[in-house]
Structures are given as C-alpha cells and as structure tokens.
Amino acid sequence: MRVLGVDPGLTRCGIGVVDGGRNRHISCVAVGVVRTPPGDELPMRLKAVADAVEQWMDAHQPEVVAIERVFSQHNVRSVMGTAQASGVVALAAARRGLPVAFHTPSEVKAAISGSGRADKRQVTLMVTKVLGLSEAPRPADAADALALAVCHLWRAPMTSRLAAAEAKAAELAKAHRQRLRDARRSSAGRGDPTR
C-alpha cells in the first residue's frame, strides 16, 4: 500500500510518501515540505498547498492519504490555518476518490515511537531509523508527514479488522432483533388460550 502522509500547515506543510508491504516492511518514496509566504493572502496560500498536494498525488499515485487530525492548541489562529490546509488536502484526495484517514498527534507518536508523548526529536529519530534513511528528514514537518504515513500503514490492518468486526456485530444484532420481532408477532397471533 502506498500512503501519502500530510502534516498540514500554511507556512510549512509536510508531505511524505511511504510504501508498505508484508511483515511491516516499509520504505520512503519521497518527502518534502510545501512552503507558503505568511504575507500572502489566505486564498493564495491555500491554493499553493492544494496545487502542491495535487502534484504529489499525480506524481506518486497514493492509495490512501493520511492527515494529522487538527488538535486544539493555544494559538487559535494557527489552528485555523492548519484546519484549512487539512481541508484542502482532504478535498484533493476526495476529488481523486482516495480514502482519507485522520490520525491524532498522540496516535502517530505512539505508533512510531511507542509513546504518545514523544517529542519532535524522538519522532524524527524513529522515522529515520524505521525507514532506514541516511539522514533525518528536515524540517520536523517532513518527518511528521512520514510518521503519519507509517502510522497509517501500521494501524490500517487493525482498523480494518475492527471495522469488519463492528459490521459483523451490527449484522448479528439486526438479525437478533428481527427474530425477537418475529417471535412476538407469532405469540401475539396465537393468542392466549386461557382467556
């Protein structure tokens, strides 16, 4: 499976492509950062992010897009920009019919380092090690994008099994409710012979 990981942002938007195979074997295909000038108008910055992400999608043909879920921070302005960048990435994926998965920062940190409280240095170190890179991806946004892709690759099988189990449980519950309704109708139709 090929995953495009995106660490959304307006000033720096990290992008990484990772291939995953059997036995958790993974490899880095490409990594980079989309930068937009803070002085530009918001629509132009969002367009620049969207254009770059679409170019990456065209060039690398991912099967799924993993985006960091916007998490509340102290700086509302920063959260808004991150959410808007996340939205244009999700839209670009939807236009291509690509599934989109959102992962929280703590999920990504736990998947890549074993701790949901890992700092950026630890995440970068583990991404470098796990992907067998000769040097650490810079800046941290690039490493975070790769971490998102790796997180998705490692979590996707479990998530799929959970979804299948939930669907099967819902199907069994529906069948059980139908049997109960049928049994009630059947007993109501027979009436009470003691009356």
Give the Cβ contact number of residue 61 at 10 Å: 12
pLDDT lower than 70: segments of the chain: 72-74, 156-165, 191-195
171 is an annotated ligand-binding site residue: no
Provide the whole-model pTM.
0.79
Q: Is 51 a catalytic residue?
A: no
Distance of CA 17 to the CA centre of its chain: 13
Considering 51, 58, 141, 182, which one is annotated as catalytic?
Answer: 141
pLDDT for 115 equals 80
119-159 pLDDT, tens digit per residue, is 889 999 999 999 999 999 999 999 999 999 999 998 865 65
Considering 41, 68, 135, 192, which one is annotated as catalytic?
Answer: 68
Q: Is 41 a catalytic residue?
A: no
Give the Cβ contact number of residue 40 at 10 Å: 13
Angle, nearest 10°, between helix axes 140-190 and 120-130? 90
pLDDT for 192 equals 53
Smallest Cα–Cα separation from 127: which of 23, 31, 12, 3?
A: 31
Considering 7, 144, 166, 192, which one is annotated as catalytic?
Answer: 7
pLDDT for 86 equals 96
* Domain covering 2-160 assigned CATH 3.30.420.10 in the classification: yes
192 is an annotated ligand-binding site residue: no
Tell me the HSE value of 143 on the side-chain side, using a 13 A CA sphere. 23
Amino acid, res. 143: A
Q: Which two tokens stand for residue 23?
A: 């036995």
pLDDT for 1 equals 92
* 3-state secondary structure at position 2: strand
Give the Cβ contact number of residue 60 at 10 Å: 16
Q: Is 7 a catalytic residue?
A: yes
Q: Which residues pair with 6 in a beta bridge?
A: 15, 67
Asked if 13 and 6 touch (Cβ cutoff 8 Å), the reply is yes
Distance of CA 106 to the CA centre of its chain: 12
182 is an annotated ligand-binding site residue: no
- All structural domains of the chain with their residue ranges: 2-160
Which residues make Cβ contacts (< 8 Å) with residue 153, sequence separation at least 6?
1, 3, 18, 20, 24, 26
